């Protein structure tokens, strides 16, 4: 009996060794993936410094679970999104740059520009994809693409959407995450903000005239003393647990409504910020941040408790810069200092994001990467993490995988340019806010403002605050950057606004430089 048992053990061992020699990759089960996206969170709205120095903001906010994630994973110091919500979210779900997918502003109403886009004194805005993204071909004013969750669903992932969607206008297929490859949708719809964060207010449901903004679903929490951030986390983990029980790999898109307006206090955390001396609005904002961080901690704890930490990748990101032009306490446009401006702006305060990735046994814990990442890179990266090396998609994917960076392999040595294109009006004024295009390559950043054709050139290595415009001092660099941006915009068939005074499209930047005028 003992002898036979030994024989079986030896046979099993031999088969295991043979199996692993044949193909290492096949032996590994596909990893679970948690994509934790925060709304409107600034680069420094955290106790984790993403710069070479700690700032006063890093001391203001308390995010212990982000600290834990940074210790266990890779911290990216130069990760970028677009200046506002929908363009970022569509890039994330399609891998396309905003200039190409043309969902260049925030979406809400079907087939129509919003009022702030119809009464601009100088510019007539292009008919951008106001309906957002669509899983089917032929929808007007929408970008047709293979959505990221659909690709993951198709190879066997259980795909869960929890929180804010904001991917398609009201009454279009893209408004419902279930049409985009998610198996479950918790609380996501067309709107990009919640009417209320409070369970005691039914998250805004039942409030007359505010139906657009009331958070859908979550009826189980109506009337209860629970914050939205907490409710969507609890629901998400409940749903994920069914996949874990069946040993099915899962993709959890934990897409928080926080820390977007309305800035409402999370009672669990607000008092200590008042005691720190913050004004009422800023204390509430800090409590939104800490509530979000608590959600992150709950998810990390869940993974540990279920013993699936080793085979679960956790990615942390925000969708645009921290709000600073309005609705905040204190002086406007200062909430991201030393970065200039905030949400809506082409300056770093509008686009630079806190990004963390944890992948145990693949990444070195506590490392820092200064590689420049942009939001469309997430699509090919997450596919690669799931084992999809190449995928035939209807859309042209602009992003590049950052998986090699996680494994500490050299990447982007040729210093690829990163492109932003926002030929629109956000609806709020502030520094660097307004129709513009921009490019970053290496340490240099060039911004072209459409209304007055203003050009700005900065060296971010020496001037992260974009305080010294080098456009006139460095004409050769200006020409080089204008040329790169023009080439990139043309290649992506970027739409420019029409100048009302001439009736013609705003020129590409290269056409505005003296020697290059055609």
Site of interaction with Ca ion (CB under 5 A): 39-40, 85, 319-320
Q: How far is the CB of 318 from Ca ion (least distance, A)?
A: 8
Whole-number minimum distance, CB 408 to Ca ion, in Å? 31
Shorter beta-carbon distance to Ca ion: residue 256 or 421: 256
Cβ neighbors of 369 (< 8 A, separation 6 or more) are: 74, 75, 76, 77, 405
DSSP-derived secondary structure for 279-316: -HHHHHHHHHHHHHHHHHHHHHHHHHHTT-STTEEEEE
CB 342 within 8 A of CB 325: yes
Q: Tell me the CA end-to-end span of the chain in Å, nearest whole number.
A: 90
User: Is the CB of 427 or the CB of 475 nearer to Ca ion?
Assistant: 427
Task: Identify which of 369, 389, 504 has the alpha carbon closest to the alpha carbon of residue 50.
Answer: 369
Question: 40 vs 230, which CB is nearer to Ca ion?
Answer: 40
In the bound complex, what is the minimum distance in angstroms from residue 324's beta carbon to Ca ion? 13
Q: Residue ranges of the alpha helices (H) in 23-77?
A: 24-27, 56-60, 64-72
CB of 155 to Ca ion, least distance (A): 29
Q: Which residues contact 139 (CB under 8 A, 6 or more apart)?
A: 131, 172, 173
Q: Which is nearer to Ca ion, 104 or 369 (CB)?
A: 104
Question: In the bound complex, what is the minimum distance in angstroms from residue 191's beta carbon to Ca ion?
Answer: 12
Distance, C-alpha 380 to centroid of its chain = 14
Nearer of residues 85 and 169 to Ca ion, judged by Cβ: 85
Whole-Å CA distances, 108 to 2, 86, 101, 255, 494: 70, 10, 17, 18, 22
Instruction: Quote the least distance from Cβ 310 to Ca ion, whole Å.
Output: 32
| Structural tokens at position 241 | 């647990």
76 forms bridges with which residues in the sheet? 355, 369
Which of 84, 300 has the CB closer to Ca ion? Answer: 84
CB closer to Ca ion, 256 vs 492: 256
Query: What is the closest distance, in whole angstroms, from the C-beta atom of residue 350 to Ca ion in the complex?
Result: 11
Structure tokens that stand for 391 in this block: 């995928």
Cβ(293)–Cβ(64) below 8 Å: yes
Least spacing, CB of residue 39 vs Ca ion, in Å: 4
Q: Are 213 and 240 in contact (CB under 8 A)?
A: no
Q: Which residue is nearest to Ca ion (CB)?
A: 85
Return the number of the residue (83 or 431) whose C-beta is nearest Ca ion: 83
């Amino acid at each position: 009996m003992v002898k036979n048992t030994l024989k079986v053990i030896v046979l099993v061992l031999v088969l295991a060794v043979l199996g692993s020699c044949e193909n290492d990759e096949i032996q590994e089960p596909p990893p679970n993936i948690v994509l934790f996206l925060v709304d409107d969170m600034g680069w420094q709205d955290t106790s984790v410094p993403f710069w070479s120095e700690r700032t006063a903001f890093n001391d203001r906010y308390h995010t212990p679970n982000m600290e834990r994630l940074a210790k266990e994973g890779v911290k990216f110091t130069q990760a970028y999104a677009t200046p506002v919500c929908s363009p970022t979210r569509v890039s994330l779900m399609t891998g396309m740059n905003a200039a190409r997918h043309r969902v260049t502003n925030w979406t809400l109403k079907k087939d129509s520009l919003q009022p702030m886009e119809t009464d601009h004194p100088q510019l007539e805005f292009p008919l951008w994809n106001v309906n957002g993204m669509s899983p089917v071909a032929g929808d007007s004013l929408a970008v047709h693409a293979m959505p990221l969750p659909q690709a993951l669903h198709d190879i066997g992932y259980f795909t869960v959407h929890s929180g804010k969607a904001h991917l398609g206008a009201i009454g279009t297929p893209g408004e419902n995450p279930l049409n985009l490859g998610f198996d479950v949708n918790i609380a996501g719809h067309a709107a990009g903000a919640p009417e209320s964060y409070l369970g005691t207010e039914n998250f805004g449901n039942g409030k007359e005239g505010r139906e657009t903004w009331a958070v859908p679903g979550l009826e189980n929490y109506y009337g209860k003393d629970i914050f939205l951030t907490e409710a969507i986390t609890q629901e998400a983990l409940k749903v994920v647990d069914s996949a874990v029980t069946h040993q099915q790999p899962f993709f959890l898109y934990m897409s928080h409504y926080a820390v977007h307006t309305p800035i409402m206090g999370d009672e669990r955390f607000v008092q200590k910020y008042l005691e720190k001396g913050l004004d009422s609005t800023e204390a509430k904002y800090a409590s939104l941040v800490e509530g979000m961080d608590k959600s992150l901690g709950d998810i990390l704890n869940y993974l540990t408790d279920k013993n699936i930490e080793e085979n679960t990748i956790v990615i942390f990101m925000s969708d645009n810069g921290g709000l600073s032009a309005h609705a905040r306490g204190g002086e406007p446009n200062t909430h991201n200092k030393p970065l200039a401006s905030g949400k809506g702006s082409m300056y770093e305060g509008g686009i630079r994001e806190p990004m963390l990735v944890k992948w145990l046994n693949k990444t070195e814990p506590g490392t820092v990467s200064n590689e420049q990442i942009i939001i469309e890179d997430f699509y090919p990266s997450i596919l690669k993490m799931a084992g999809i090396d190449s995928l035939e998609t209807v859309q042209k994917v602009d992003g590049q995988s950052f998986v090699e960076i996680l494994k500490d392999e050299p990447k982007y040595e040729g210093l690829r340019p990163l492109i932003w294109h926002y030929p629109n009006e956000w609806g709020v004024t502030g520094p660097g806010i307004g129709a513009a295009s921009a490019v970053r390559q290496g340490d240099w950043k060039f911004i072209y403002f459409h209304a007055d054709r203003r050009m700005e050139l900065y060296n971010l290595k020496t001037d992260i605050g974009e305080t010294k415009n080098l456009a006139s001092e460095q004409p050769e660099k200006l020409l080089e950057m204008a040329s790169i941006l023009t080439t990139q915009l043309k290649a992506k068939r970027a739409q420019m606004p029409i100048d009302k005074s001439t009736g013609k499209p705003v020129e590409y930047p290269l056409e505005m430089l003296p020697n290059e005028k055609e």
